[in-house]
Amino acid sequence: MKKLLTRIIPGLAWLSLAAAQVPPPPAGMPTPAAPQLGADSYILMDFDSGTVLVEHQPDLRVDIASITKLMTSYVVFQELAAGKVSLDDAVPVSEKAWRTEGSRMFIEPDMQVSVEELLMGLIVQSGNDASVALAEFLAGTEEAFAGVMNYYAGQLGMAHTHFVNATGLPDPEHYSTARDTALLSAAIIRDFPNYYTWYSEKEYTFNNIRQHNRNNLLWRDPAVDGLKTGHTEAAGYCLASSAKREGMRLVGVVMGSSSEQARASESQSLLNYGFRFFETLQLYKAGEQLAEGRVWKGVSEQVRLGLPDDLFITIPRGRYDDLEARVEMQPELVAPLELGAEVGRIVIQLDDEPVASRALVTLEGVAPAGFFGRAWDGIRLWAGSFFDDE
């Protein structure tokens, strides 16, 4: 088999985000080492590119306490999006939901509480009672609802996660990781932007009881707009956070901090480090032509090539001009070609190291030529291979 053809794309990016208005490090200064936190495990990830900027034992299996409620709410959002329930639906409160221990929104037996009210009680007040009420409403039992939670965990690639309840109350078979929690957090932001705004609410009042959001970063940093805290003796203090500054969004997760103050300070340290020393750029848009490929035996001799999705990269600040892009393409494209067929890859490099690699696909289909066109191109291909072999 012939080697892939390689060539440099002139003009690296025709669409890039303006750099965030954060003073860049001095010219020539290497990126400082990431902060060392006291938490058992943690991760910092860029939302758009998926690049992990900081990590420490990100796949360590841990008790995640009320961070579990991120998946509880994600399942409810899916049901809302599918039209199976509505925010106005009245949910009956069972004896089990009322008696659930831990943090509560203070619903009472035989109350009829709307889905929206329960979501606010779950997200802002971290109500275990709200979690159980929603689980029973959607799946009949909390145990059955946990099965749905595990289904979505699999769909999202949360390979080291298993749920047995909707609350996060301790159980040996209920666990996740910092990395999986970051994936779930990003999915909520990406898939349900309208509902995501609820995670920035600082307080909520139900049954004449006002409670504050336990995420202290909402008061400390105006860029922070989510997501969820957790705490049990087994889990320690945990926080999944997200912030957006000048178009760049980061997702951070700390697991097993020593105190409420520590989890906030450690999360803030991660976010500040990411915004200070890195930038995220959109290099190419989905569907934009990046290259052309020569097509043999087709009604057209050229086919436009591009990406199926937007391409974002995260790099140290001030290094944009040092990026290089190249296309690695199959040496011979033979019709018929379907729309979206993968014919190579685009690779972005910095200092000769790849920072992104994406499939290069056809932006249009190419039908086969008639008999004589196919025959003529067949001869030309044969002749070319003959001389190549020589």
Which string of DSSP letters, residue by residue, matches 364-378? S-B-B--HHHHHHHH
Q: 269 and 156: one domain?
A: yes
pLDDT at residue 375 in the model = 56
Same domain, 179 and 310: no
362 touches 334 (CB < 8 A): no
How far is residue 303's CA from residue 365's CA, in Å, rounded to a whole number? 8
The answer as to whether 291 is a domain residue is: yes
Same domain, 194 and 289: no
User: Is 21 a domain residue?
Assistant: no
Same domain? 262 vs 309: no
Residue 12 in domain? no
Angle at CA 70, nearest 5°, toward 308 and 151?
65
Residues 152 and 295 in one domain: no
Last residue of a domain, one of 231, 251, 280: 280
- Which one of 221, 250, 280 terminates a domain? 280
Say if 24 falls within a structural domain. Answer: no
Token reading at 121: 């009680």
Residue 261 lies in a domain: yes
Within 129-235, strands assigned E span 203-206, 209-212, 224-232
**pLDDT score recorded for residue 386:** 46
Amino acid letter for position 330: Q
Number of domains in the chain: 2
Same domain, residue pair 173 and 320: no
Domain-embedded: residue 374: yes
d(CA 97, CA 165): 12
Domain check: are 385 and 329 in the same one? yes
Cα 98 from chain centre: 34
Q: Does 195 lie in the same domain as 115?
A: yes
Decide if 302 contacts 329 (C-beta within 8 A): no
Distances (CA, A) of 17 to 25, 287, 288: 19, 18, 16
Give the count of beta carbons closer than 10 Å to the beta carbon of residue 82. 8
Does 27 fall in a domain? Answer: no
Strands (E), 57-177: 90-92, 112-114
Residues 249 and 323 in one domain: no
Tokens for 263? 């989890």
Last residue of a domain, one of 255, 280, 305: 280
* Same domain as 360, residue 273: no
Does residue 26 lie in a domain region? no
- Both tokens of 281, joined, read 């750029």
345 in Cβ contact with 357 (< 8 Å): yes
For residue 164, what are the domain limits?
41-203+213-280
Query: Which CATH number fits the domain that encloses residue 77?
Result: 3.40.710.10
- pLDDT per residue, tens digit, the chain (390 aa), is 233 344 444 444 433 333 334 555 555 567 788 889 999 999 999 999 999 999 999 999 999 999 999 999 999 999 999 999 999 999 999 999 999 999 999 999 988 999 999 999 999 999 999 999 999 999 999 999 999 999 999 999 999 999 999 999 999 999 999 999 999 999 999 999 999 999 999 999 999 999 999 999 999 999 999 899 999 999 999 999 999 999 999 999 999 999 999 999 999 999 999 999 999 999 999 999 988 888 877 788 888 999 999 999 999 998 999 999 888 888 788 878 899 999 999 999 999 889 999 999 999 988 886 654 455 455 555 555 544 444
| 103: nearest Cα among 180, 209, 219, 242 | 209
Q: Are residues 106 and 138 in the same domain?
A: yes
- Secondary structure (3-state) at 123: helix
- Crossing angle for the helix pair 128-139 and 69-81, nearest 10 degrees? 40
Contact in structure between 201 and 123 (CB atoms under 8 Å): yes
Structure tokens belonging to residue 381: 């291909």
Cα(175)–Cα(133) distance, rounded to whole angstroms?
22
In this structure, are 269 and 322 located in the same domain? no
C-alpha dihedral (99, 103, 109, 113), degrees to nearest 10? -150
Q: Return the CATH number at 307.
A: 2.60.410.10
**363 vs 302: CA distance, rounded Å:** 11
Positions marked active-site: 66, 69, 126
In whole angstroms, what separates CA 52 from the centre of its chain? 11
